[in-house]
Amino acid sequence: MFGSYRLQRLPSSHAGIALAARVAAIVIALLVAGIGIALAGMNPLNLGARVITASFGSAFGMEDLGVLIIPLILTGLAVAVAQQVGAWNIGAEGQFYAGAFAATAIGLFVPGEGPLILMLMFVAGMAGGAAWILVPTLARAYANVNELITTLLLNFVATLLVYYVSTGPWRDRSGMANSATPPLSTDVPSFWGIVHWGFPIAIGLAVLVAAVLAFSRWGYEVRLVGSNPSAAKYAGIPVRKHLIAVMLLSGGIAGIAGMLEIAGTVHRLQGGISNNFGYLGIMVAVLARGSPIGVIFSGALMALILNSGIILQTQGLTTSIVLAITGFILFLTAIGDELSYYRITREKA
């Protein structure tokens, strides 16, 4: 005989169930948002049609999505990489700014142009992001200091540093932009319209990281450290060494995102250049469940949500309403993802 029913959380969820849960969550969120818009006196169906048409009905809309996807994939990948070793990198925002800062320094003060300067900017951006996470990494590895706090606090330092140099020592003296540096002489070449080669770089990097983690011995050891540090230490795996390597890689990827934003999209350093891409990368990684391949799709979803918000603002909705709709969609998506781990089971009497 069977007794009562109970809700049981499983250690993993089926990919199909997880996808269905996310789709259902997004549909419910859109329905609720549509009801709210209708109560405000606007037609939600017309607004939805405008969003779809503006996003997918023209090359310009698709290019806007492509530009947004690049930093979201990379910052999400940075957070997801740290999750592999059981750490939380909340400082992708600061590492983004540090990478942009270092890349701008090369672009402004190293003479020359062309592929060599671009390569130096790429290396500098990665090194800047890795350097910005170095102190939190060593504090976690050698003193067990919580990296949540240290990486988060360094975000504000990096943001203020960029504001200072872009409005002070590195300010454009020509008067064209008082709160930004002069334009860089070297740019990332265009890949499709306004979408630069950072797009295939971001996707390729996510695939490369996923392959290394899945098929290499180093990746297996990293995943073991993240899932069971005690067992990894007992097996002779250098837990501290892997922690440091993965955290530096995480910061370096976020720094690359900053470099590509500078050299490919904005072309000059200025305050607010990140547009909160580092913080949004946390949500991208969460929605991807820490999967390097998953950040490609969750980054695309986040880019669509952000682009939809911009379009809705042009139709008369305020920023607060757009942020509320965006937050509600992400909130229900996260809940749907978590519920996919649960099953209803029957207990024997």
DSSP calls for 23-39: HHHHHHHHHHHHHHHHH
**pLDDT for 123:** 97
Residues 6+ apart with CB under 8 A from 346: 2, 3, 4, 5, 6
**pLDDT for 1:** 44
Q: What angle do CA 63, 64, 66 make, to 5 degrees?
A: 60
**pLDDT for 85:** 93
Distance (Å) of CA 194 to CA 36, 167, 206, 296: 35, 27, 22, 20
Which one, of 158, 157, 180, lies nearest residue 168 by Cα? 180
Residue 136, phi then psi, degrees to nearest 5: -60, -35
Give the pLDDT of the chain (349 residues) as one tens digit per residue.
Answer: 445 777 777 777 777 787 788 788 888 888 888 887 888 778 888 888 888 888 888 888 899 899 999 999 999 999 999 999 999 999 999 999 999 999 999 999 998 878 899 999 999 999 999 999 999 999 999 999 999 999 999 999 999 999 999 998 999 887 666 778 988 888 899 988 889 999 999 999 999 999 999 999 999 999 999 988 888 888 889 999 999 999 999 999 999 999 999 999 999 999 889 888 999 999 899 888 889 999 999 999 889 888 887 787 777 777 677 777 777 877 887 788 778 888 777 766 5
Cα 335 to the center of its chain, rounded Å: 19
Residues counted in the chain: 349
List the helix and strand counts (H, then E) for the chain.
13, 4
Residues 6+ apart with CB under 8 A from 17: 340
- Structural contact between residues 197 and 189, judged by C-beta atoms closer than 8 angstroms: yes
- Structural contact between residues 79 and 284, judged by C-beta atoms closer than 8 angstroms: yes
Which one, of 304, 289, 252, lies nearest residue 99 by Cα? 252
- The dihedral region occupied by 144, where left means phi > 0, alpha psi between -120 and 50, and beta the remainder, is left
Give the HSE-up count for residue 13: Cα atoms under 13 Å, Cβ half-sphere. Answer: 19
Whose tokens are 């682009």? That residue is: 307
**pLDDT for 213:** 94
Which one, of 84, 89, 83, 63, lies nearest residue 254 by Cα? 89
Which one, of 275, 331, 207, 208, lies nearest residue 68 by Cα? 275
**pLDDT for 9:** 77
Q: What angle do CA 248, 252, 253 make, to 5 degrees?
A: 120
**pLDDT for 149:** 93
Q: What is the CATH T-level fold of the domain 58-316, as seen in this structure?
A: ABC transporter involved in vitamin B12 uptake, BtuC (1.10.3470)
**pLDDT for 349:** 58
Write out the two tokens for 235. Answer: 């097996």
* Cα–Cα distance, 25 to 332 (Å, whole number): 5
Domain spans of the chain, in order of start: 58-316
Cα 262 to the center of its chain, rounded Å: 16
